[in-house]
Amino acid sequence: MRKKVKILLFLILMSCAGVSLAQKDSIDILFSQYEAAIKYNATAKGDKINTEIIAQKALEAVYESKSIDRLTEYYQTFVREEKYAQEAKRIRDKLAFEQTQNDNTIEAYEEFLRLYPDAVQAALVQLLIDQKMLEQYSERKDLDSLLIFANSVTDKELATKALAEVDKISFERALVADRADNYADYLSKHPSGTYILIAKDKYDKALLRENLTQYKVSTLINFLEKHPNHPSYSQLLDTLKCIAIAKSSNKGMDYYYQKTKKENDTTAKYNFGSQQPNEIKQPKKPVMQFATTALPAYDAVTIDSIDILPLRSAFSDTDFFIFDNGNSVIFASNREDGYGTDGYKATKEDTLNSPFDLYIAFKTKGQWKEPMLLPKPINSTASERKPVLSVDKKMLLFSSCVYETYGNEDIYLSYRTDTADWSNWSVPLHLSYEINTNRDDYVAEFNGSNMIIKQDFNPSKGSFRRLSTKNNEPMFNLKSGYARDIDAKPAFAKIILIDNTTNKPFDSIMSNNTTGFFAFLSPAVSFSVIGLGKGCIPALLQPSQMANDSSEISLQLNNINTLIEKNKIQPLENLIDESEPKKLPNIAKLYLNYLAKELAELPQTISISVFCSNGTKDLSAQDLAQTQASLIKSALITNGIKSEKIVAVGFEHKRNADSQNTTPKSRIEIGFISNQ
């Protein structure tokens, strides 16, 4: 019996030694021999075959084959050899997982779980499935699927990411719609959302934009009633008061005093019937002092209607202002090439209700040339009428209702410096309440220091009054300039005037969006100028830079993306006062607030470099430069820029050896560093 067992063992070992000759056949032989050995051992009464040797040799052969199917077959065949069977299962699961990772699809991962549910990698595979699903739902911006996923996934981190995607996508959709109800929906569904503050600000602005298309007493009251918690509530109440006075609205004034609880205020005893123009109170406008004289009778300058007869058309031509000894004329007309309200084009059959624009015509060799439509921004979608040109031809006064007015038609002033160029005018300035009233106002005559104004377009109604300045000084002192970009091209800008005493804006104007030209009435107070352009580094001018009354103001508004593309740095001038080099002046803080708004969404890192050539008694030049750089960085952080997005460094700037200047003057530069 023992001899037979030894012979069988010898045959098995010999067959095992030849595995490499034909791997597939040898694996089958080993499987067969194992099954034969198991059967033999089941009936043998003496020595038994050691099946562990066969299991070991078979596992080595299967492992070399790298066949998942063979490993599965091994696991099922050699189940009695537990440690070898488990090793085969481990190797199979590992190979299957690696193959699944190469496929890297949800379907492949799900198939792995179906085939190998108890694999060590099963939990990881489920996590990978969840990650892939989150990626797909996020790419498709599938809000419903993301919400279901967030509520069902077991991994808390993935659930949090899914909810963050829901929050982001919901906010992005609200931004695209840009309507108050969309922002309100976001705010209600995401009370703790990442974008809650931005959405609240957008919601408040959208409410104003959608509900106050016109600043009328009725619409303002309706808005204030519906939205008592709006952040602009107090400001809108003040606006209501101004408009109520301008429109002679007792309803508006009643509501204002009711809400401000000023019923016992003596100013509440208003009587619009006797309201005088110079009694109207309105803040934020520089006050101009004029002597006012009522004119019971005034003989307006008449024109020779026969002389301008060739200019007349089938439309309504009116308000002729003739100058240059009768060789030039500006007039109002509702001709079909005008701008018109909302694109309205007049027809010859409808010449009464269509809006008017201003035209100019010149006479050459006794013949009138075809009238030219004056450009925007003088003409608008509203009506422009009653033109009067100053003696020096630099100021054009006219009546319009294009913006919020004190009455129906108010007086506006547009300015130019080149009297030969009829295309480059400033955006019209809405003259303040010392000139305009709560009625229809227009200029009948203007000579630079005296102005005669009528308060009704109807010749049989209204009255004249004369405004005059002291000692015949110019009535309007204007400052003008240009907004340009880094390539010296015109820039469309908002110019804000800052009261240096209060450090608060008191007026703003826009530049001509075609030429960049702008003008404003020079205020009596000390003021600074901040120029703003979309996506641009703001410009700052302080009084010392505008000391020359005759010089034009230059505002350079460099586009941030252009600076980045051209790898340019931007100097920030006038931020630090040389007399107090260790603190930020108030105007610098206000400027940095505007700057932060332009930098808020920038992906690049912002670099602030400060160079000082001199220090102070207690700080070296480099320490002072670092102090100033840190002050600027802190101000930007206060205004919403993340600390990690700013690099602020101070440097000592070596001066010439023979320089006697010990003033701690700084040079400040801003640059942008790519995060890639």
254 contacts: CB under 8 Å, gap ≥ 6: none
Sheet with strand 504-510: strands edge to edge: 504-510, 494-499, 527-532, 539-541
How far is the CA of 504 from the CAs of 144, 307, 499, 526, 531, in angstroms? 48, 52, 6, 12, 15
Distance CA 26, CA 60 (A): 11
Q: Record the tokens describing residue 662, joined without a space.
A: 């010990």
- Start-to-end CA distance of the chain, whole Å, equals 79
What integer pLDDT is reported at residue 543 of this predicted model?
83
- The closest alpha carbon to 507, from 479, 467, 537, 486, belongs to 479
Q: Which SS3 state, helix, strand or coil, does residue 94 take?
A: helix
CA distance 169 to 164: 9
Cβ atoms < 10 Å from Cβ of 616: 15
Whether cis (ω within 30° of 0) applies to the bond prior to 490 is no
What span, in angstroms and rounded, lies between the C-alpha atoms of 323 and 327? 7
Q: CA-based angle 120:125:127, to the nearest 5?
A: 120
Element (H, E) at 189: helix 180-189
Answer whether 199's CB lies under 8 Å from 173's CB. no
CA–CA dist 259, 247 (Å, integer): 19
pTM of structure: 0.56
CA distances from 32 to 15, 28, 154 (A): 11, 6, 46
pLDDT score, position 243: 62
Helix (H, G, I), strand (E, B) or coil at 287: coil
Residue 69 contacts residue 96 (beta carbons within 8 Å): no
The pLDDT of residue 16 = 46
Angle between helices 156-177 and 180-189 (to 10 degrees): 170
> Quick one: pLDDT at residue 17?
43
The Cα–Cα gap between 579 and 587 comes to: 15
Could you tell me where the beta strands, DSSP code E, fall in 542-645?
553-556, 570-571, 605-612
Q: Does residue 82 sit in helix, strand or coil?
A: helix
227, exposed or middle or buried, with CB in 10 Å at 0-12, 13-18, 19+?
middle
Query: Are the C-beta atoms of residues 612 and 666 closer than 8 Å to each other?
Result: yes
Instruction: Of 599, 516, 607, 594, give the one whose Cα is nearest residue 568.
Output: 607
The partner residues of 652 in beta bridges, in order of sequence, read 612
Look at strands 605-612 and 646-652 and give their pairing: parallel
Task: Please provide the DSSP assignment of 397-420 as one string.
Answer: EEEE-SS--SSSSEEEEEE-S-TT
What would the two tokens of residue 415 be?
A: 């300015």
| 473, 497 contact by CB (below 8 A) | no
Sign of CA dihedral 485, 550, 546, 472: negative
> Strands across the sheet with 553-556, in order?
517-521, 478-484, 553-556
As a three-state string, the secondary structure of 239-282 is: HHHHHHHHCCCHHHHHHHHHHHCCCCCHHHCCCHHHCCHHHCCC
Question: Pick from 503, 590, 558, 543: which is nearest to 669 by CA?
Answer: 558
Q: For 602, phi and psi rounded to 5 degrees?
A: -75, 130
Find out whether 330 and 393 touch, Cβ atoms under 8 Å.
Answer: no
pLDDT of residue 237: 78
Strand order in the sheet with 605-612: 570-571, 666-673, 605-612, 646-652
Between vectors from CA 411 to CA 409 and to CA 413, what angle results, nearest 5°?
Answer: 140
Those residues of the chain that have pLDDT short of 50 are: 1-3, 5-7, 10, 13-22, 263-287, 298-304, 306, 341-353, 656-660
